[in-house]
Amino acid sequence: MEGHGPLFNVFIFLLAAVIAVPLSTRLGLGSVLGYLLAGVVIGPWGVALIADPRDILHFAEFGVVLLLFLIGLELNPQRLWALRRPILGMGGLQVLGTTAALGGAALLLGFEWRAALMAGMALALSSTAIGLQLLTERNLLPTAAGSASFSILLFQDIAVIPMLAIIPVLAGRHPETTMYSHWISFFTAAAVIGGIIVGGRFLTRLLLRIIAATRLRELFTAFSLLLVVSIALLMQVIGLSMALGTFLAGVLLADSEYRHALESDIEPFKGLLLGLFFIAVGMSVDFGLLLQRPGLVLLMVLGLLAIKAAVLYGLGRWSGLPLSQQALFAIVLSPGGEFAFVLVTVAVASGAMLPAARDLLVGVVALSMMTTPLLLSLNQRFIEPRFAAPTPPAMDVVAHEHNPVLIAGFGRFGQIVGRLLHANGVGTTVLDHDPEHIEMVRKFGFKVFFGDGTRLDLLSAAGADQARLLVVAVDDPEQALRIARLAREHFPNLLLLGRAWDVAHVFQMQDQGVAEVERETFEGALRLGERALIRLGFTAWQAKQAVHQFRAHDEKLLAELYQHFQEDLEVRAAISMSARVRLREQMQKDEVFFGAHRDADWQTSNDGPGRPEPVTGRDTDAP
Amino acid sequence: MFASPDILVLFAHLAIHRSKINRAMIDAISGLERVVFHDLLETYPDFYIDIEREQALLRRAAFIVFQHPIYWYGAPAIFKHWQDVVLTRGFAYGEGGTALQGKQFALAVSTGGLPDTYRADGIHRYPLEVFLRPFEQMAHFCGMRYLPPLVLQGGHDLPEAVIAAHARRFRQWLEDYRPGKATGAHKE
């Protein structure tokens, strides 16, 4: 099957995924198992449509990198800091305990002690990709078990670094030079991570702002990917975990206003590459080896899962996870992980492990990855129902905060609405695509998302399904209509308020179900008109009444006109097309209305029961 | 039994979101078919009163009630403004001003001070009735029959049970109203 172009491979991958994943989810087994099985089918041991999975695996690892970047985006530094205990405590105990237990088991199987220790370390790590995918897919990440799993996976990602460093030392290869070079690489690593922290915090935001100012969506996507790729490459060069580096970058951008734009841009790539990764894992299961020594492989897979699950179960009990979640917690993190592939490869390269052992371990890890989704489904179907109590969300690792009001467009108009609400303690989330607006309002503590409200993903990310009101305050009439249409379609519970350009736009907005529409210039013009009346000698009260009356008349007129607008296509066309037609119509009605009233004293002609006496209330408590 | 609502309750309160008594009273009468409840400040927050609409409401009612807390020995300001602009010559009094003739009028008011503060030796020095006389006279001037008010005094720290009982009494008071017949007077 060599010689097929890359396009053919892409075709095979997509086809396999499109067939296998829906089947698997339909059977209640989740997407991960679907991808893995698809990989088995198209791989060397299936119909062998793709010969060598290794390159693909390598490429698809980038999916894990993107996954970690996205997770980082959900966790701002404060939240990460709040998680430090579970990360260090749970994570540390899991890695140490499991390494010891699995290393012991490997000794029993006849591994040499150093190889056994390396195997123990490699297998102690769980699959971030599978674990998090399983948890997010089943919406379990916000549970206590999900949070604990996440902490451990994060610690494991960090633990890979010293593990990679210690393997050559264990192998006893040139300890002096190795130690020396390790010091060097330690400092390089520290410098690079420091660079990422500084760069992520300041430089990246600046660049994002510049890119955003071009208003080219694809350029923003390109830059997002470039950002992740370049950090991954940087980490690779200094020999650190790419996933860890991008995770860090994600964390640093988590409280930036571009977070959701980045999220929605990277998300599809992550999904595809992660799927590809799972397919590649499925392909790399060496069934030849499995068939050669089925007993041993089976024993090792079961042993691996049992030992890891046992340690995790103990940890879960010890940390006081809810009973109903302990099994889940133990299962999710029980398979071997993608880092095992890396570690055993390094171990073989260091000379401390035989290539045969590597093939065996890789096979065992891959198989364990396949059994986990299955086990989890069994757990959900048979074990969890015994604990009738629903699992309450315990920690909001990835929960968004939700404001009751969204404002789309934060220019001259939206700002005033926003300031008024803000001043009265109403939580407001702002969507705007002008970097200058964003920068300004972010300083005042608004929650700001970069992008315009015509994007469904952005509206969702900003919490449109939880908010009560959406104020459409963009300065482009067409865009305002698009946002209203989109919001009405996808968030029917959201009450819409809109800024309208002119009368025709008022009607169009009303057609889109916008509950409150305000012409952008109307109130300001009335205010100025009122002052003009005062300058001409009207009393303030008189002028105010005149304005009230005019407004009431105009609103009534507008309501009548809207009815015509809805009923009569010709009127509709005339109103929509010509501002002059509208004005003429309005002025004619004004004449009819005010002509009749102008001479009459429209104020009260109440000369009845005299002037009121003022009430003086000295020394009284107001009753 | 009643073809159309015949009781109009006009209401105003500057801080209804903090009110206990008036809140309970409103809740108690919500859903009564014969009652039109009309919150003046909610309808006219900037005091621009739709005169024709108000006069139409008055014409349709047989029993008109002002419900409000007592502020400075009277009603909240919008009631005064409402009187000034709605009860005009030719409508409520004067030549042709017979729209309110024969209707009944009553107050449903609450005061912060306890009853004994409204005495010659109390801080308010006069009985509450004295302060309510402008309303009595308004009714009289417009040809309406003034019924004894429904009063709850000492609103600052009344027990929940007393407030709840008062709210029920308010509801009963409105339900008991019969055209042309005086409803029982209550005073706490």
Cα A611 vs. chain centroid, distance in angstroms? 66
> In this predicted structure, what is the pLDDT of residue A612?
37
Q: Is A382 inside any structural domain?
A: yes
Residues of chain A in contact with residue B85, where contact means CB-CB under 8 angstroms, are: 603-604, 606
pLDDT category of residue A519 using cuts at 50, 70 and 90: very high
Can you name the residues that pair with A437 across neighbouring β-strands?
none
Which helix or strand (DSSP H or E) is residue A309 part of? Answer: helix A294-318
Please enumerate, as own/partner, the contacts of A441-447 that have beta carbons within 8 Å and a separation of 24 or more: A441/A410, A441/A415, A442/A257, A446/A418, A446/A422, A447/A401, A447/A403
Q: Which of A541, A542, A606, A618 to mutate to test the interface with B (most CBs of B within 10 A)?
A: A606
For tokens 């009444």, the residue is: A545
Q: Is the pLDDT of residue A457 over 70?
A: yes
Q: How confident is the model at residue A616 (pLDDT cuts 50, 70, 90)?
A: very low
State the CB neighbour count (10 A cutoff) for residue A615.
11
Secondary-structure class of domain B7-187 per CATH = alpha beta
pLDDT, tens digit, for every residue of A77-129? 777 777 787 788 888 888 889 898 888 888 888 878 888 888 888 888 888 87
Residue A12 φ/ψ, nearest 5 degrees: -60, -45
Q: What per-residue confidence (pLDDT) applies to A607?
A: 46
pLDDT > 50? residue A618: no
Q: Is residue A79, in this structure, part of any structural domain at all? A: yes
CB atoms within 10 A of CB A606: 18
Share of residues in chain B with pLDDT > 90 (%): 84
* CA–CA separation, A425 and A513 (whole Å): 27
> Do A117 and A170 contact (CB within 8 A), yes or no?
yes
Regarding whether A197 and A121 lie in a shared domain, the answer is yes
Non-local (6+) Cβ contacts of A204 within 8 A are A227, A249, A252, A253
pLDDT digits (tens, 9 = 90+) for A315-330: 888 887 777 778 888 8
* A to B CB pairs, distance under 8 Å: 53
Report pLDDT for A605: 42
Look over chain A and give the mean of its residue pLDDT values, rounded to a whole number: 78
Report yes or no: A331 and A375 within 8 Å, Cβ to Cβ. yes
- A43-52, A220-229, B10-19 — which one is most confidently predicted on average? B10-19
Question: What's residue A179's pLDDT?
Answer: 54
By a Cβ cutoff of 8 Å, what residues of chain B touch chain A?
46, 48, 50-51, 70-74, 80, 84-85, 87-89, 92-94, 111-113, 117, 123-124, 137-138, 141
pLDDT value, residue A606:
46
The string of DSSP letters for chain B reads --SS--EEEEE--TTTTT-SHHHHHHHHHTT-TTEEEEEHHHH-TTS---HHHHHHHHHH-SEEEEEEE-BTTB--HHHHHHHHHHS-BTTTBSTT--TTTT-EEEEEEEESS-GGGSSTTSTT-S-HHHHHHHHHHHHHHTTPEEPPPEEEE-GGG--HHHHHHHHHHHHHHHHH-BTTBPPPPEE-
Q: Could you tell me if residue A615 is inside a domain?
A: no
What number of other Cβ atoms are within 10 A of residue A501's Cβ? 17
Indicate whether A100 and A208 sit together in one domain: yes
Angstrom distances, CA of residue A136 to CA of A130, A131, A146, A147, A305: 10, 9, 9, 11, 21
Q: Where are the alpha helices (DSSP H) in A351-476?
A: 355-378, 412-423, 435-442, 456-461
Domain ranges for chain B: 7-187
- Domain with A229 in it: what CATH number? 1.20.1530.20
pLDDT of residue A4: 63
Cα end-to-end distance, chain A, whole Å? 94
Q: Which residues of A touch B73 (CB under 8 A)?
A: 615, 617, 623
Residue A609 has pLDDT above 70, yes or no: no
Nearest CA in chain B to A546: B48
Residues A437 and A552 in one domain: no
Backbone φ, ψ for residue A397 (5° rounding): -55, -45
Q: So what's the pLDDT on residue A413?
A: 92
Say yes or no: A227 and A291 in one domain. yes
Segment A172-198 shows an average pLDDT of: 68
pLDDT, residue A598, reads 57
Gyration radius (Cα) of chain B, Å:
16
CB B182 within 8 A of CB B12: no
CATH code where residue A485 lies: 3.40.50.720
What is the pLDDT confidence band of residue A344, given thresholds at 50, 70 and 90? confident
Report the pLDDT value the prediction gives residue B181, as an integer from 0 to 100: 55
Question: How many domains, in total, are found in chain A?
Answer: 3
In a domain, residue A415? The reply is yes
What is the structure's pLDDT at A584? 74
Which of A152, A144, A145 lies closest to A98, judged by CA?
A152
Average pLDDT on A582-610 reads: 60
Task: Check whether residue A176 and residue A325 sit in a common domain.
Answer: yes
Catalytic positions of B: 112, 118, 124
User: A274 and A173 share a domain?
Assistant: yes
Identify the H or E element spanning A335: none
Q: In angstroms, what CA-CA distances link A413 with A410, A417, B89?
A: 7, 7, 45
Q: What is the distance between the terminal CA atoms of chain B, rounded to a whole angstrom?
A: 31
Report d(CA A132, CA A372) in Å as an integer: 12
DSSP secondary structure letters along A535-594: HTT--HHHHHHHHHHHHHHHHHHHHHHHHHHHH-HHHHHHHHH-HHHHHHHHHHHHHHHH
Per the listing, tokens 């029920």 go with B168
pLDDT of residue B132: 97
A251-260, A423-432, B11-20: range with lowest mean pLDDT = A251-260
d(C-alpha A306, C-alpha A328), whole Å: 14
Say which residue the tokens 């998090």 belong to: A132
Do B73 and A605 make contact, defined as CB atoms within 8 angstroms? no
Stretch A441-461: mean pLDDT: 77
Query: Is A510 contained in some domain?
Result: yes
What the block records as the tokens of B177 is 């109203």
**Which H helix or E strand runs over A428?**
strand A428-432
Q: Which residues of chain B have pLDDT under 50?
A: 185-188
In the predicted structure, residue A395 carries a pLDDT above the cut 50: no
Q: What percent of chain A is predicted at pLDDT more than 70?
A: 85
Q: Which of A142-146, A286-290, A511-515 has the highest mean pLDDT?
A: A511-515
Residue A152 pLDDT > 60: yes
- The helix (run of H) or strand (run of E) holding residue A517 is strand A516-519
Pick A500 or A155 by higher pLDDT. A500
Q: Select from A604, A611, A613, A621 the residue whose CB has the most chain B CBs within 10 Å, as the one to mutate to test that interface.
A: A604
- How far apart are the CA of B147 and the nearest CA of chain A, in angstroms? 21
Q: Provide the residue range defining the domain that includes A541.
A: 522-592
3-state secondary structure of A449: strand
Distance separating alpha carbons of residues B120 and B116, to the nearest angstrom = 9
A349 falls within a domain: yes
Please judge whether A545 and B48 are an interchain contact, meaning their C-beta atoms are less than 8 angstroms apart: yes
Across the range A407-425, mean pLDDT stands at 89
pLDDT at position A578 is 63
User: A548 and B48 in contact by Cβ < 8 A?
Assistant: yes
The gap from C-alpha B95 to its chain's centroid, in whole angstroms, comes to: 26
Chain B residues whose beta carbon lies within 8 Å of the beta carbon of residue A623? 70-73, 111-113, 117, 124
Residue B124 to chain A, least CA–CA distance (Å): 7
Mean per-residue pLDDT, A208-229: 83
**Region A212-223 average pLDDT:** 82
pLDDT tens-digit readout, A528-565: 999 999 999 888 888 998 999 899 888 888 888 888 88
Yes or no, beta carbons of A622 and B72 under 8 Å apart: yes
pLDDT on residue A25: 75
Alpha helices in A83-174 (DSSP H): 84-85, 92-108, 113-124, 128-137, 144-171
Residue with the larger pLDDT of the pair A465 and B168: B168
pLDDT at A597: 58
pLDDT band with cut points at 50, 70 and 90 for residue A613: very low
Q: How far apart are CA A141 and CA A325, in angstroms?
A: 12
Q: What confidence score (pLDDT) does residue B131 get?
A: 97
Band (pLDDT 50/70/90 cuts) for residue A602 is very low
User: Are residues A310 and A377 both part of a single domain?
Assistant: yes
For residue A61, pLDDT beyond 80: no
Please say whether the beta carbons of B177 and B10 come within 8 A.
no
How far apart are alpha carbons B9 and B171 in whole angstroms?
A: 12
Report the predicted TM-score, pTM, of the whole model to 2 decimal places: 0.54
In a domain, A9, yes or no: no
CA dihedral A431, A433, A435, A438 (to 10 degrees): -10
Residue A312 distance to chain B (closest CA, Å): 53
Q: How far apart are CA A414 and CA A525, in angstroms?
A: 18
- Whether A355 and A410 map to the same domain: the answer is no
Amino acid at the residue A24: S
Write the CB contacts of A422 (distance below 8 Å, at least 6 apart in sequence): A428, A444, A445, A446
Instruction: Check if the beta carbon of residue A343 is closer than 8 Å to that of residue A115.
Output: no
User: Considering CB atoms only, which of A605, A619, A623 is closest to B89?
Assistant: A605
Integer Cα distance of B20 and A46 in angstroms: 75
